[in-house]
């Protein structure tokens, strides 16, 4: 409510700007304080006294002008000017109570559907075939999936596009190596260790000339549509994606096999795209290669930079594929909004591909496109997150370790569980903690992967929020009483009410900005506000009258539901007992 009051005051000052010379830094100076004495309302500001001097006005008169220019807001019952020029605000708690009552009846918890549903294509996860999912794929997967859930909750039509790296010259080598393995073992092969597979394939390619020759011929055959090479290629893709699917399922990520739209999907569009760009003079030939030169593309020295879209040997590039990909997403899905959850290091690449797509008209003006970039995941030493020997951290190993650590934590706490229940709790806490650690930081910054921090039951962590949820649920196990009519009397109730009513706004901002950490921060604050309410306002204690009890139970129920829904939008599960 404090923020609401602040924004009203600010709006008033904005209006007064027409007649007065209001200092431009006023926003940072506005102070809204809770009143000590309720007869003076709930919040007060001394802004009129602050401004009196610079504007050369009497503070009480100035206060009157500010009050007169305040926008109407149902959430404020009335204002009063007091003492030397304080402006006091009385919260409209009846209005709050009736809003909360509606929320209690509403499955959507007061979150409206978007006024216009958009077709949104979200590019996320995008691992590479026959390679371990690297850290940037984990971030993309977890953050992208949370945003997808939010968009769908708001009623948008979302297409999940898993832009898997499933095409390129390395496939000759991989097919030749798969063939070698199959011949040697006499049976199919299990690609459980991608890193070793890739490394060995590369070693054969570098050390064995006849292997390398075969690998090169396989690339050509694969590109020419040869059925043997195609089948082998498909096998590699399938083995990789089966393994990744197991990870998605374990992570509670909503991607499935039908969302795979790998680079190969755009392959047959590439010759036409290059032709089209050439025929319209957007691309030109330069020493056998086809290049796009644009004023916008310059290197650090300010020299004009060419973007190659076809190499002189006829090969296409990652950029060419992304140009075709934009065209496909606009034409095929009638997209209004294209979102890409990709490592910030690929920014220049994306900018180049999209600029070309805009100029070529593949990306109409009214379609928005955004690089929802994220920073790196760092180890505690501040260096890129790696295994002790410098290898890629396997996501599977990371999740195994998370579960092991949570299991040990539960042992330490000594709570008794049924084995089945315990396994489920361990799983939900571990996965929740790993995902939340990533989601709760502003995605644009690098973040430090820290087991102790993410698994703590205190602070802005998933275990803390999950615990807050199950603690509220335990209240309902202790009583037959039901949530009833809400009345807001206590300050802590008012604070909780305001927080609960802000849920819809927060969800909307996650959708606008593609920033799930806003929702994390909100849920963390909600839990804190709830805990303060619960300490200050007894619910089931003797002496609490029926009406107060049922009102407070309603606040508890709403808090639990918002927590559960909020965590669900982040792809994190709750449990009734913990």
Residues lying near ligand ARG in the complex (CB under 6 A) are found at 123, 126, 128, 163, 165, 322, 325, 340, 342
Structure tokens at 451: 């087991």
Cα separation, 178 vs 239, whole angstroms: 11
Q: Which is nearer to ligand ARG, 385 or 530 (CB)?
A: 385
Contact predicate 49/59, CB 8 Å:
yes
- Give 140 or 551: the residue with its C-beta nearer to ligand ARG: 140
Least distance from C-beta 540 to ligand ARG, angstroms? 52
CB of 209 to ligand ARG, least distance (A): 30
Q: Which of 500, 516, 515 is nearest to 569 (CA)?
A: 516
What is the gyration radius of the CA atoms in the chain, in angstroms? 29
CA 209 – CA 215 distance, rounded (Å): 10
| Identity of the residue, 57 or 358, whose beta carbon is nearer to ligand ARG in the bound complex | 358
At 68, give phi and psi (nearest 5°): -65, -30
- Cβ neighbours, 10 Å, residue 203: 12
Residue nearer to ligand ARG on the CB measure, 109 or 352: 352
Task: Give the nearest distance from C-beta 19 to ligand ARG in angstroms.
Answer: 52
Instruction: Give the whole-angstrom CA distance, residue 382 versus residue 291.
Output: 39
CB 465 → ligand ARG: shortest distance, Å? Answer: 30
Joined tokens for residue 380: 């505690």
Cβ distance to ligand ARG smaller for residue 286 or 331: 331
Q: Which long-range contacts (CB under 8 A, 24 or more apart) does 204-207 make?
A: 204/173, 204/176, 204/177, 204/180, 205/173, 205/176, 205/177
Of 79 and 162, nearer to ligand ARG (C-beta) is 162
Give the residue from 474, 473, 457, 476 showing the smallest Cα distance to 465.
457
Q: Which is nearer to ligand ARG, 372 or 494 (CB)?
A: 372
Q: How far is the CB of 193 from ligand ARG (least distance, A)?
A: 19
Burial of 96 (0-12, 13-18, 19+ CB in 10 A): buried
- Minimum Å gap between C-beta 97 and ligand ARG is 48
Q: Which is nearer to ligand ARG, 41 or 262 (CB)?
A: 262
Are the beta carbons of 524 and 562 closer than 8 angstroms?
A: no
How many angstroms separate the CA atoms of 20 and 54, rounded?
10
Q: Which residues, including other chains, have CB under 8 Å from residue 573's CB and lie 6 or more apart?
A: 252, 428, 431, 432, 567
Q: How far apart are CA 119 and CA 339, in angstroms?
A: 11
Task: Give CA separation, 565 vs 146, 365, 468, 570, 574, in Å.
Answer: 12, 35, 13, 9, 10
Closest to ligand ARG by CB, 31 vs 332, is 332
CB closer to ligand ARG out of 316 and 340: 340
- CA-closest candidate to residue 359, choices 333, 326, 331, 337: 326
Q: Give Cβ neighbours of residue 234 (< 8 Å, ≥ 6 apart).
A: none
User: To the nearest whole angstrom, how small is the minimum distance from the Cβ of residue 271 to ligand ARG?
Assistant: 19
The distance from CA 61 to its chain's CA centroid, rounded to whole angstroms, is 48
Closest separation in Å from C-beta 160 to ligand ARG: 12
For residue 231, the minimal CB distance to ligand ARG (Å) is: 23
CB proximity list for 124: less than 8 A, separation 6 or greater: 140, 141, 143, 144, 145, 148, 160, 161, 162, 255, 340, 341
| Contact partners, residue 478, CB within 8 Å, separation at least 6 | 540
In whole angstroms, the minimum distance from the beta carbon of 325 to ligand ARG comes to 6
Is the Cβ of residue 59 or residue 165 nearer to ligand ARG in the bound state? 165
- Rounded to a whole number of angstroms, the minimum distance from the CB of residue 112 to ligand ARG is 32
Crossing angle of helices 546-569 and 462-477, in 10° steps, is 150
Q: Which is nearer to ligand ARG, 322 or 494 (CB)?
A: 322
State the minimum distance, in angstroms, from the CB of residue 181 to ligand ARG: 24
């Amino acid at each position: 409510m404090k923020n609401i009051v602040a924004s009203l005051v600010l709006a008033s000052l904005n209006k007064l700007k027409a007649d007065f010379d209001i200092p431009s830094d006023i926003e940072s100076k506005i102070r809204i304080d809770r009143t000590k004495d309720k007869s003076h309302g709930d919040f007060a500001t001394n802004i009129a006294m602050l401004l009196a001097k610079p504007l050369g006005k009497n503070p009480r008169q100035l206060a009157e002008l500010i009050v007169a220019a305040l926008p109407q807001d149902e959430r404020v019952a009335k204002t009063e000017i007091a003492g030397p020029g304080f402006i006091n605000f009385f919260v409209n708690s009846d209005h709050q109570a009736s809003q909360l009552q509606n929320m209690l009846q509403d499955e959507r918890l007061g979150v409206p559907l978007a006024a216009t549903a958009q077709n949104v294509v979200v590019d996320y996860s995008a691992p590479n075939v026959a390679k371990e999912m690297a850290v940037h794929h984990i971030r993309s997967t977890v953050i992208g999936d949370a945003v997808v859930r939010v968009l769908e909750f708001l009623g948008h039509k979302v297409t999940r596009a898993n832009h898997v790296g499933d095409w390129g010259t390395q496939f000759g080598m991989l097919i030749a190596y798969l063939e070698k393995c199959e011949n040697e073992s006499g049976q199919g092969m299990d690609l459980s260790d991608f890193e070793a597979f890739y490394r060995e394939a590369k070693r054969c390619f570098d050390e064995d000339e006849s292997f390398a020759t075969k690998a090169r011929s396989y690339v050509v055959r694969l590109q020419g549509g040869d059925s043997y090479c195609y089948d082998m290629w498909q096998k590699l893709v399938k083995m990789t994606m089966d393994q990744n699917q197991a990870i998605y399922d374990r992570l509670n990520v909503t991607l499935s096999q039908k969302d795979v739209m790998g680079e190969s999907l755009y392959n047959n569009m590439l010759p036409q795209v290059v032709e089209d760009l050439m025929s319209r003079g957007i691309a030109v030939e330069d020493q056998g290669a086809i290049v796009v030169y644009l004023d916008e593309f310059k290197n650090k020295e300010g020299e004009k930079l060419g973007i190659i879209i076809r190499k002189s040997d006829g090969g296409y590039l990652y950029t060419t594929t992304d140009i075709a990909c934009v065209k496909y997403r606009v034409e095929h899905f009638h997209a209004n909004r294209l979102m890409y959850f990709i490592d910030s290091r690929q920014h220049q690449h994306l900018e180049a591909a999209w600029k070309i797509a805009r100029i070529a008209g593949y990306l109409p003006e009214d379609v928005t496109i955004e690089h929802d970039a994220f920073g790196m995941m760092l180890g505690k030493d501040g260096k890129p997150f790696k295994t002790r020997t410098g290898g890629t951290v396997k996501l599977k190993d990371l999740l195994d370790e998370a579960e092991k650590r949570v299991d040990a934590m539960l042992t330490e706490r000594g709570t008794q569980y049924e084995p089945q229940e315990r396994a489920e709790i361990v799983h939900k806490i571990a996965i929740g903690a790993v995902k939340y650690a990533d989601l709760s930081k502003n995605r644009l910054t690098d973040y430090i992967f820290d087991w102790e921090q993410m698994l703590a039951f205190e602070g802005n962590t998933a275990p803390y929020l999950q615990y807050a949820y199950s603690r509220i649920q335990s209240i309902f196990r202790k009583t037959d009483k039901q949530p009833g009519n809400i009345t807001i009397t206590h300050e802590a109730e008012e604070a909780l009410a305001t927080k609960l009513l802000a849920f819809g706004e927060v969800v909307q901002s996650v959708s606008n900005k593609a920033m799930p950490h806003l929702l994390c921060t909100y849920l963390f604050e909600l839990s804190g506000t709830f805990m303060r309410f619960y300490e200050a306002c007894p619910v089931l204690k003797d002496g609490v009258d029926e009406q107060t009890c049922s009102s407070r139970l309603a606040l508890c129920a709403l808090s639990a539901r918002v927590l559960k829904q909020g965590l669900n939008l982040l792809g994190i599960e709750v449990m009734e007992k913990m």
